[in-house]
Structure 1
């Protein structure tokens, strides 16, 4: 399942995230094993069979036939329209635990490159049926343990007696949204306890662990009205855990993931304030905000003037920042494309930093 993959980003099937993923260079994509949070696309074409199938088409266009981990996003309730209601109904049907999550298992069966994530339920019979049927697909299996769900320990407890021998099992320990006030040592300790608990409960000889989270903020004006440099706190948690003696004694080689520089908690749509350009470096995010009268080009120029700016960085998002800094903001004069730019740079940086290599990719990209 893991192979040569070095980075495990959680990415939803949303327009900005699919655009950012699709514009990565091929060699960079090859370093990723993304955790795709499947949600309904907000609109469909006549040729689409549904809102979920449109999301899958967008994923295939962005990432090709490469293997991906597939999980389910929660149904959308952020706004109401006929399309959103139809999409929500499709996602809700996949969440239904009927017959061992039959709809979910059937969807996974249709796509050979999908590595399935187990959907949790407190019904032991249904959960165990789902796990056995997903194991029968012979693609490996993923458990996602969420901080907000008490790390899903009650679900792990229901799996006693199931043998995972012959299957590669990946456990994703999801710290979810990491607030500025969160004590990282305590959070890392909780994640470590979860890893050790899962290892003790799962009869899986081929067992692997990834820790993910997001400290990307929901608001920037509260931090600083014009500019700031923010530590990537999920990287700090990973650093605390990677060399942890209790994990090393258990032979656990932890791998890194995150929420791809996206705020991980529920919220209303963001980035409606002043023009802002973000620059993700390997260990921190740098942002510049400017008044509407100055615009995104001025913010981009402030980014390229930073000492942290990597002049050798050639990914699509970095090129878009350079273009805007030079005065060309065609297609970049609103908030949405800048979200894709940030995510693209972040994915590129973290993929190559995790791989321990240079971030320059000598491969042309096309827009």
Structure 2
């Protein structure tokens, strides 16, 4: 499949949670065609096998091009209540989590050029595989073999993901991967600056230094053909304020990173990824409604727990806020429109409202990223 990475202005990075699946599935055909999503295989829900995420992604993307990656987060252990723990349920859940982690370990086994990962990737001929590794200092030969074998298997385009924690030994390896490809245009470099609302300039500096190190490893004539996406997200778990405007810092980070290289824009779809110490802990939930703006989010958090009426009240509050512009025209905004007049039929679970936020965010980012990159100076 021939792919021109540079034609995409926005690359959302999504995992396999139910909310993220719903959000993507509810995008219009036009929106789906406008993005190159990065899908990370991850646990769909507790007790789910890794194969379920493979099936889910296959159903979502159909024949569209996408980047396939693997979340390296292990499934957490079961939650154990202090009083009267259900040992049978705990044992069942632990077995499921152990099975998931075993599958993850197999896919990250470096033997024979990450053979298990390459076998899984073979199920997706329309994918751009992310070259896997955990320790580039010791896995160099197998990382390179992985790239060579993927290219021989018909994958004309590859991707590689670099985070702030990645060992610097990855940079000469990226140069070697580029040497086996006919053109640098066949490799997408994903510079993942992580999530958070602090140290924006420091994370942008990481992106600039990382891409500069890669360019040092290739011929100057090839550098102009290289595509890279700067990935970050500043959405956060809302505080206790009933209605609040949260500014997005992702564009600021992207603009700073872009001073030295024409990065494409990417984020986590306004999905705040939390590291879980254990599986779901029973507790109170509070209804939230989020409306994305170009560079911010209007966030409503209902004060009362376990109150589905919060989605109705939240939708009314957001539509009445001075910052609300009604510019989103997609499934998520339709959910808010209906709730604002008291209709939440079919949307009485938190996952639908989480999905609505991601769906609207992606829809809005598509238009805004194109607008920004078509301009001369950015936002």
* TM-score range normalised by the length of the shorter chain: 0.7 to 0.9
Aligned to 1:295: 310
Q: 1:130 to 1:29 in 2, by over 3 A?
A: same
Shift of 1:319: 0.3
Q: Distance between the aligned counterparts of 2:16 and 2:98, measured in 1? A: 17
Q: Distance between the aligned counterparts of 1:184 and 1:75, measured in 2? A: 24
Shift of 1:26: 0.4
**TM-score under structure 2 normalisation?**
0.82
Shift of 1:159: 4.7
Shift of 1:3: 5.3
Aligned to 2:231: 212
Shift of 1:161: 4.3
1:356 partner SS = helix
Q: 1:201 to 1:178 in 2, by over 3 A?
A: farther
Shift of 1:88: 2.6
2:245 partner SS = strand
- Is 1:166 equivalent to 2:185 in the alignment? no
Q: Contact conserved, 2:204 with 2:253, CA < 8 A, in 1?
A: yes
Q: Distance between the aligned counterparts of 1:263 and 1:194, measured in 2? A: 24
- Is 1:277 equivalent to 2:277 in the alignment? no
- Is 1:230 equivalent to 2:235 in the alignment? no
Q: Contact conserved, 2:31 with 2:366, CA < 8 A, in 1?
A: yes
Q: Contact conserved, 1:177 with 1:265, CA < 8 A, in 2?
A: no
Deviations, residues 37-89 of structure 1 (Å, cap 9, x unaligned): 11243479xxxxx9333323322332321011011112433343133332332
| Mapping of residues 83-232 of structure 1, within 5 Å | 83-120=96-133, 121=135, 122=137, 123-136=139-152, 137-147=154-164, 149-150=165-166, 152-162=167-177, 163-167=179-183, 168-179=186-197, 182-202=198-218, 206-218=225-237, 220-221=238-239, 224-232=240-248
- Is 1:68 equivalent to 2:87 in the alignment? no
- Is 1:7 equivalent to 2:10 in the alignment? yes
Structure 1: gaps (5+ residues):
45-49, 358-367
Q: 1:42 to 1:280 in 2, by over 3 A?
A: same
Q: Contact conserved, 1:213 with 1:264, CA < 8 A, in 2?
A: no
Deviations, residues 311-362 of structure 1 (Å, cap 9, x unaligned): 35320000001111110122333322111110000010101211229xxxxx
Aligned to 1:22: 25
Q: 1:126 to 1:272 in 2, by over 3 A?
A: farther
1:110 partner SS = coil
Shift of 1:261: 0.4
Q: Distance between the aligned counterparts of 2:303 and 2:347, measured in 1? A: 16
Q: Distance between the aligned counterparts of 1:12 and 1:174, measured in 2? A: 15
Aligned to 2:375: none
- Is 1:32 equivalent to 2:30 in the alignment? no
2:303 partner SS = coil
Aligned to 1:354: 369
Q: 1:341 to 1:161 in 2, by over 3 A?
A: closer
Q: 1:313 to 1:158 in 2, by over 3 A?
A: closer
Match of 2:51 among 50, 53, 65: 53
Aligned residues: CA RMSD: 2.4
**TM-score under structure 1 normalisation?**
0.84
Q: Which has the higher helix share?
A: 2
Structure 2: gaps (5+ residues):
79-92, 373-379
Q: 1:144 to 1:272 in 2, by over 3 A?
A: farther
Aligned to 1:322: 337
